[in-house]
Amino acid sequence: MDCSRGYQSPPTVLSNPSIPVNERLIVALDMPDPAGAKALVETLGDDVVFYKLGFELFLAGAYPEFLGWLADRGKKCFVDLKFYDVPRTVAAAVRQLERRGAAFCTVHGDDAILRAAVAERKTTKILAVTVLTSLDRAGIESLGFKGNVGELVLSRARGAVAAGCDGVISSGQEAERLRAVVPPAFRIVTPGIRPAENKPADDQKRTVDVEEAFQFGADHIVVGRPIVGAKDPKAAAADHQRRIHALFKAGR
């Protein structure tokens, strides 16, 4: 599939069957304060098991406490701080996350940075960032990269596999090509999920909808605004889970 010309018909084989279906949805708690985030988690209840915490909550304070609060409620946490620093500093950050029980964390950078993170991980899965879903071809060219987005994503994913990472963050538009070249257990986590009828009116450019993401080989999807910003977040989360369960039931 040539990512520069858009994606085509999805494959019929879905990803790693050992992943619990209710953990395939990750809700992004991109919110300005911990109290509001906790209220949303309580509202979503059993409909959501997995949450992503990013820079906004980190800068709001009480990030470590929030990780513990989620763990106490049986939730999994994806720490999305995109560690990018000298290898020793990144290794130290991963050690801290291991103590906090984070399930996933994102790391940016070259092979030395990725390998430093991998060397310190025990149960926290290291996810390498490929190309942000807010970037298209013009965006990567403005950063000095030539060629199409798909080739850059593939190159970075191969580097992540070689460094021992557990997975990558990638748009669903590149997931099919990635699934063909990475090991079966290698996680593909896809942000930028938008409704098929509304793609997109925001900063995300390389988007897919729920079914497309998994049909192209994603293991997990990260959903923010379509759930967090919904009039009824609980109903929106339940609908996402219903669609995911239906897809995997049919695919098996």
What are the tokens at 184?
A: 């079966």
How many domains, the chain?
A: 1
Has residue 243 been placed in a domain? yes
Catalytic-residue membership of 82: yes
Has residue 170 been placed in a domain? yes
What's the pLDDT band for 9 if we cut at 50, 70, 90? very low
What's the pLDDT band for 19 if we cut at 50, 70, 90? very high
Domain of 187? Answer: 31-251
Q: What is the mean pLDDT of residues 156-176?
A: 91
Has residue 10 been placed in a domain? no
Has residue 83 been placed in a domain? yes
Has residue 11 been placed in a domain? no
Give the model's pLDDT for residue 173: 80
Has residue 58 been placed in a domain? yes
Give the model's pLDDT for residue 196: 53
Residue 114 · residue 159 · CB < 8 Å: yes
Could you give the CA distance from residue 211 to residue 196 in angstroms, rounded to a whole number?
Answer: 9
> Model pTM?
0.86
Has residue 211 been placed in a domain? yes
What's the pLDDT band for 3 if we cut at 50, 70, 90? very low
Report the CATH number at residue 110.
Answer: 3.20.20.70
Could you give the CA distance from residue 215 to residue 202 in angstroms, rounded to a whole number?
Answer: 24
pLDDT tens-digit readout, 190-242: 987 866 554 444 444 445 789 989 998 999 999 999 999 999 999 999 999 99
Could you give the CA distance from residue 105 to residue 97 in angstroms, rounded to a whole number?
Answer: 8
**β-strand pairing of 220-223 with 167-169:** unpaired
Q: What is the mean pLDDT of residues 134-155?
A: 60
Give the model's pLDDT for residue 207: 59
What are the tokens at 77?
A: 């946490």
Give the model's pLDDT for residue 202: 46
Q: Determine which one of 52, 75, 76, 82 is catalytic.
A: 82
Has residue 8 been placed in a domain? no
Could you give the CA distance from residue 233 to residue 247 in angstroms, rounded to a whole number?
Answer: 21
